[in-house]
Every structure is written in structure tokens, then in C-alpha cells.
Structure 1
């Protein structure tokens, strides 16, 4: 994109099905959160954020240029709350990546950013199970939709994307067969194998 953008790694999930913190899983010689963060750092974002719980042992040095965004104590608003807080903080297009999408590539994300010509519109991909909400571009114009959803405790990100597309604030692209593996999640030990 020709417009400055920020990027955030969402690493604060509770990982209940995995029975251990997914962010700390080993992936090609490093913790998964580090591997995912390096992808985002390679994209040329003006700001890179790491969204996590304060008790998670995820440490970045100031020299890495990564901003920590801790979930508020007792927050139970899931990814919607985390993305909303980050978008309110950066006030620019925000590329989101979930920590549990290890097959997502920096090259794919870079290509989507390069092709996207409307920095005032979000973009997402739609697969066989609906919109892929945890890897896409959220924009400040979507904040009122997100804040309203939080206020009524409707935490489904797909509802936000549907409303944003309906009102012209976002676009969706159909996932091709070759792109679907990028969006696979690691939710259980079997998924990782």
C-alpha cells in the first residue's frame, strides 16, 4: 500500500483446546509467536504491535521496535476487543495476523498489501467456512461498528466484516485452493503435526 499501515500479532488467546499456550509452541526452532512476529516485521509496517495477556512470557526488546499491547485485566472480549484496542491506538489501517496461523507467509501478506488500492477500506478473505477474520486488514472507519458490537457483547468478528462489506467499508476476496493452507489454524496438538 502507498499509505502507512500498522500490523498486529494476536497472541493472547487462551488455547483451551491445545491445553498449552499456542504462542509458545515450537515452530522451526523458535516459539510460534516469534516466527509470526518476524513475518509481520518484514512487511514494512510503520508500527508493529504484539497483543497478548500480561501474564504471558512474551518479551521483546525496545530495539525490536515492537509495541506490547496487553489485554486489560479480566478482559473477556476476545479477538474483537484486542483488535479494537489496537486500531484505536494506531489510527491507521491495521494488518492482523493470529499467532495460530503458522502456514501464513509474509510473501502472501505482502502481495495483498501491494494489490490493495483502497487504504480506507478493509480487506478479508472468504473461505468455505465464512470470512477469515484473523488475517486481514481492519481500517479506522470500521471502529464504530466494532465499538458498537463490543457494547452489546456481540464478539463475532464475522458480523463486523459482514457489516463493513455491506456499508462499503471493506471488501472480501474468495480464497483459491492454493491460498487455503495459509489460513489453517493450529488448535490441537494433532493440527501441529
Structure 2
């Protein structure tokens, strides 16, 4: 059941950061087949169960954007494409933090108070991750990010869209680390109940290992 509006009336968008160059993978991660559909399509389908709109941030020169027709053609049923919008105006060379700034601006313009942020290379993501993070929000919290036993995951979090200008100032000052945004915000960490939701794949051996472990 879609839960894009919370009990407090807040609206939740999603920002899927898909503009990476996939150097270690050797091919576009967004188009990588996972259980019969492109990984980006899978992530979009899952987050759309809780979020509206879903904003895919990827510049026009990115592999994900250039391959969008193929990704759409191979996407499994179940994606409401009217919910999905591409954001292509991220500042070149600013990495995922710049993508976050572009996504938060678009989410705010769409009337969303909150945005769930994730990467395109998280094939085991589930809507329950979003539920658990949302329950961690308080009135003063600017961001809630997932944490497992090893580390924080700033690319698995819910951010208030009005924190966008703070992050934009960081980017303008040369910051490129997602954790830099967390340091600058009033952030809360949530230990999630299933660490598999946070697994990302950066290289072919990661994909092979994950497929073996989930088969």
C-alpha cells in the first residue's frame, strides 16, 4: 500500500541517484539484470510503493540516461510511470552530493516535505526500509539515515527537502562526501532490522557473491 503521505500530512518523494559512472563494474549498473529486470527499474518499482514522485537523478551524459529506452523496455510490470521523473540538471563533477541537491530541489518543487534517498545499485532494497526510517523522524530531525553494524549509510535515508540549501552550500564550498551532508545536518541514525536492504554492488564479484547468497 502506498504511503507517500504520512500521518502528519507530510509528503514523501524518492530520489534515486543513478548518475555514477560504474567504473568498477565495467558496465552500467542501472541496466544490470537482476531477477529479470534492470536494477534501476527494480529500485524504482520498490520505492514507488511508498513514495510519489520518484525522481531518478542522472545527467544527460550518464550511462543510465543514455540507456533509458532499453531500461524501460526491459522493466518488469508494476511501475506506475506517471510517478517517475528524470532529473538531469545536477551540477557536473559534484558526485552524489550534487545529485542529492538537484533531487531535493525537484522534490520540494513537487510539494514533498521529505525525500527517501537511495542509490541505483541496491538490489535487495525493500519498502519496509522506508517505513523504518520514517518512524525515526522527529520534528527537529533534518535527516534519518540507515546504519548497520559497520557504518552509516547516507545513501539510504530520508531527508527533509528544506535541508537542500544547506547541502547546496556545502557543494559550492567543494564538499563531495555524502557524509559531509550528515555532519552538517541534525541527523538521526536508525539501526534497520535487515542489513541486506543496504547491500550495494560495485563490481562484478559483488553481483556474483550476492546472487549466490540469495539463491
Give the TM-score category using the shorter length: 0.7 to 0.9
Q: Residues 36-185 of structure 1: matches in 2 within 5 Å?
A: 36-43=43-50, 45-55=51-61, 56-59=66-69, 63-72=81-90, 75-91=92-108, 92-113=113-134, 115-118=135-138, 121=141, 122-164=143-185, 169-175=186-192, 179-185=194-200
Query: Match of 1:101, SS?
Result: coil
TM-score by length of 2: 0.77
Asked if 1:7 corresponds to 2:14, the answer is yes
Q: CA deviation at 1:9?
A: 1.3
Task: Kindly indicate whether the alpha-carbon contact (under 8 Å) linking 1:5 and 1:94 is maintained by their aligned counterparts in 2.
Answer: yes
Aligned CA distance change for structure 1 residues 181 and 156 (closer, same or farther; 3 Å): same
The total of aligned residue pairs comes to: 184
Task: Kindly indicate whether the alpha-carbon contact (under 8 Å) linking 1:78 and 1:155 is maintained by their aligned counterparts in 2.
Answer: yes
Alignment root-mean-square deviation, CA = 2.2
- Between the aligned partners of 1:26 and 1:155, the Cα distance in structure 2 is 29
Task: Kindly indicate whether the alpha-carbon contact (under 8 Å) linking 2:47 and 2:126 is maintained by their aligned counterparts in 1.
Answer: no
Task: Kindly indicate whether the alpha-carbon contact (under 8 Å) linking 1:6 and 1:94 is maintained by their aligned counterparts in 2.
Answer: yes
Q: CA deviation at 1:110?
A: 2.9
- Can you give the 5+ residue segments of structure 1 that lack an aligned partner in the other structure? none
Q: CA deviation at 1:128?
A: 4.7
- Can you give the 5+ residue segments of structure 2 that lack an aligned partner in the other structure? 1-5, 73-78, 209-215
Aligned CA distance change for structure 1 residues 189 and 65 (closer, same or farther; 3 Å): same
Query: Match of 2:147, SS?
Result: strand
1:14-66 CA-partner distances (Å, limit 9, x unpaired): 000001110010000011110110001111x2321111132422246995321
Q: CA deviation at 1:127?
A: 3.4
TM-score by length of 1: 0.85
- Between the aligned partners of 2:13 and 2:153, the Cα distance in structure 1 is 19
Which residue number in structure 1 is paired with residue 30 of structure 2? 23
Q: CA deviation at 1:147?
A: 1.4
Query: Match of 1:15, SS?
Result: coil
- Between the aligned partners of 1:132 and 1:117, the Cα distance in structure 2 is 16
